Structure 1
Amino acid sequence: MPDGRQLADRVLNAVNGHDLERLSACYDDDAVLSTPMGDCVGREQIARHWESLFKGFTDMAMTVWNRVECADPGFTEWTMTGTHTGPFPLAGGGVASASGRRITVRGCGACHAKDGLVVAHRDYFDLLELYSQLGFSLVCG
């Protein structure tokens, strides 16, 4: 039965393959994915999250540069790259139209396993860095 480390690798491989079926199969029915963009509860919402990233960044890839070798959680540091070629949902409900801009965002994630499936997945990255690379500016006032 796969542990958190093995499941983290499976998730990243499925993400890089843009394979929603393989990706969904990694998660428990009631799993929770938490990112700076918000929380997704359940396998279906998690699959929609990844699908929206694949549509917004059709060449999105996550390059792993460090794996912590422990069974649970599976902890990975990565760099996400891609070109903003499609609609991309924003935190708070808006949608950004394709900008053609390239992104490079460093982050990390932790996958907790139970009974061979991911039950909790947390990804951490700088949302302001991503938005800045997409051409958004921070307006105060």
Structure 2
Amino acid sequence: MGQAREVMNGMTEAIVRGDDEALRALYAPDAIADRPDGPRLEGAPAIVEYLMGFRRGFPDLSWENGRQYESGDTAIDEGHLVGTHTETITSPEGELPATGRAIRVRECDIVTVRDGAAVEHRFYYDQLDLLTQLGLAGSGAEAAAVPGPRAATDQAPARSTR
């Protein structure tokens, strides 16, 4: 396992545990992050606050790993965020009060590491799917059914390249 994979795994564990100090230690001070729901985040404190704001909204947050990749200084994870929106989500754009709804949203993280710390983090998820599962979008703002995990035989095996 390379350094990029170690950092990515540490990030995932810190987010799921809600450990902002451990998460902050994995980012370079001047790291940047691109996200689907707003402008670029600049600096470790801004990135950690954004991620932990989401995590606080889903106290039971977990990660279902789908695929993992690593090549040189970059690690990629594909999977699903799973949790129940029981607390307010805070972000630089404002607050989203708890809906009490469960989610299972496909998500992808791409992390580039230098000298043992993440310098760039790009994450992607389907915003419409998230809002629909929360009951905030769609026909009549009715929540969509939360997709269940696929059968193990339906999933592609995890791969790592170095």
Higher relative contact order, structure no. (Cα contacts within 8 Å, ≥ 6 residues apart): 1
Partner residue in 2 for 1:65: 66
- Structure of higher CA gyration radius: 2
Partner in structure 2 of residue 8 of structure 1: 8
After the TM superposition, list the runs of 4 or more consecutive aligned residues in structure 1 that deviate by more than 3 angstroms: none
**Could you state the TM-score of these two structures normalised by the residue count of structure 1?**
0.88
Which residue of structure 2 aligns with residue 83 of structure 1?
84
Question: How do 1:51-130 residues align onto structure 2 when only pairs under 5 Å count?
Answer: 51-89=52-90, 93-130=93-130
Higher alpha-carbon deviation: 63-72 or 98-107? 63-72
The alignment of Structure 1 onto Structure 2 pairs a total of residues equal to: 137
Please, which moves more after superposition, 111-120 or 94-103?
Answer: 94-103
Structure 2 unaligned residues grouped into runs of 5+: 140-162
- Structure 2: which amino acid aligns with 1:73? T
Contact 1:5 1:71 in 2 (8 A): no
Percent same amino acid among aligned pairs? 31
Q: CA-atom RMSD, angstroms?
A: 1.8
Q: What is the TM-score with the length of structure 2 in the denominator?
A: 0.78
Work out whether residues 4 and 70 of structure 2, in 8 Å CA contact, stay in contact via their aligned partners in 1: no
CA contact (8 A) 2:16 2:55 kept: no
Higher strand share: 1
| In structure 1, C-alpha distance between the alignment counterparts of 2:31 and 2:70, rounded to whole Å | 22
